[in-house]
Structure 1
Amino acid sequence: MDLSNFRFSKSIQTLGSYLPVQLANAPLMLILELARRRALLVAPESLYGKSFRIKVEDLGLSLCFYCDQGKFKPLSSLPQPDVSLSACAMDFLKLVTGQEDADTLFFRRRLKMEGDTELGIAVKYWIDASERPAWLGQFAQHFMHAGETM
């Protein structure tokens, strides 16, 4: 079974929408901080002071944070972020691991961007240009095709 088009069920989406914001944000903030400390994710100055929302549609999550001098800090709520990215979990996995670039997902209407267009383009270039460790791509390949051996 190829998981590349997998989407979580509506019941998972409903459950995710009930998670406390701090709990929902914790894994993303941990990943961003670890990547920053290992110099895998160095925020350009154009992101400083900007706020972001990542909506993982099929998990029912709306993750909000801002960039404070290159460090990402969680926000409990954000009525109007500077930029918002929305996609399903698998599409975000493809984006993060470099299996798909932001343009491809955007033009396939699988990644939605709202807010400051200039900032959104800067974020897109930053994500696409960020170096990823080799193990991350290997993990994604294995994960996406895990069901094929069943």
Structure 2
Amino acid sequence: MSVSLNLNPPALLAKLGRRLPTPFVSLHFVAGLEVARRLKWLSPPPELDGRSFAITIEDLGLRSSFAVRDGAFRPAWNSAPSELELGAKLSDFLALMRAETDADTLFFQRRLRISGDTELGLIVKNWLDAAPRPAWLQRMSGQVQG
């Protein structure tokens, strides 16, 4: 007797991701942001200082909450709502990170979900659009597209 399993890896990852506590995910996500900041790949503008954010990678079921304090990224340990929440699939966040597409395009195609403080959302959008990308990220983008 043969048994066929139809496994959907993204669904399994999302199920696992939803079970991970947000502080655990946030700690790892913020560690990556801090490495990028210290390597001068990413520098939050002063307008973000003292503000709180959440990013959800919807297809993986992962949510990260963090804040910017004194120009550095810090995990948010409390359960207070974030001032700005962004949600999208991993591929859309990667396209945004590589500057293959912009936040407006993703938003109007309903591939980027934004909620919370509208003014803060515009500051973040303009910052992400204007942020220079490291050379290795641009090379990686060309390899993926080509």
| Superposition TM-score, scaled by structure 1 size | 0.84
Which residue does the alignment assign to 1:72?
73
Q: How does 1:1-150 map to 2 (within 5 A)?
A: 9-143=10-144
What one-letter code is carried by the residue in structure 2 that aligns with 1:25? S
Aligned counterparts of 1:22 and 1:82: Cα–Cα separation in 2: 17
SS in 2 for 1:62: strand
Query: What CA distance in whole angstroms lies between the structure 2 residues aligned with 1:76 and 1:96?
Result: 25
Where in structure 1 do 4 or more consecutive aligned residues deviate above 4 Å? none
Larger relative contact order (Cα-Cα within 8 Å, sequence gap ≥ 6): 1
- Letter aligned with residue 26 of structure 2: N
Displacement of 1:29: 1.3
Distance 1:64 1:97 in 2: 22
- Does the 8 Å CA contact 1:99/1:137 hold for their aligned counterparts? no
Q: CA deviation at 1:144?
A: 5.7
CA RMSD between the two structures = 1.9
User: Which structure 2 residue ranges, 5 or more long, are not aligned?
Assistant: 1-8
Question: Residue 41 of structure 2: SS of its match in structure 1?
Answer: coil
Tell me the alpha carbon deviations over residues 46-88 of structure 1, each in whole angstroms, 9 at most, x when there is no partner. Answer: 1010000001000001100000011000113433111000000
Equivalent residues of 1:93, 1:140 under 8 A apart: no
Looking at structure 1, the residues matched to 102 and 12 of structure 2 have their Cα atoms a distance apart, in angstroms, of 29
Over the matched positions of the two proteins, sequence identity in percent amounts to 41
Asked whether the equivalents of residues 50 and 67 of structure 2 are also in contact (C-alpha less than 8 Å), the reply is yes
Query: When the two structures are aligned, how many residues end up with a matched partner?
Result: 139
Structure 1 portions without partners, runs of 5+: 1-7, 146-150
Q: Which amino acid aligns with 1:62?
A: R
When structure 1 is superposed on structure 2, of 29-38 and 125-134 the one drifting more is 29-38
Contact 2:55 2:86 in 1 (8 A): yes
The 8 Å contact of residues 14 and 59 in structure 2, kept in 1 or not, is answered as yes
CA distance in 2 between counterparts of 1:81 and 1:22 reads 13
Q: Is the 8 A contact 2:23 2:64 kept in 1?
A: no
Report the TM-score when normalising by structure 2. 0.86
Determine which structure has more spread, i.e. the larger CA radius of gyration: 2
Q: In the aligned structure 2, how far is the partner of 1:124 from the partner of 1:21?
A: 24
Q: 1:9, CA displacement in angstroms?
A: 2.3
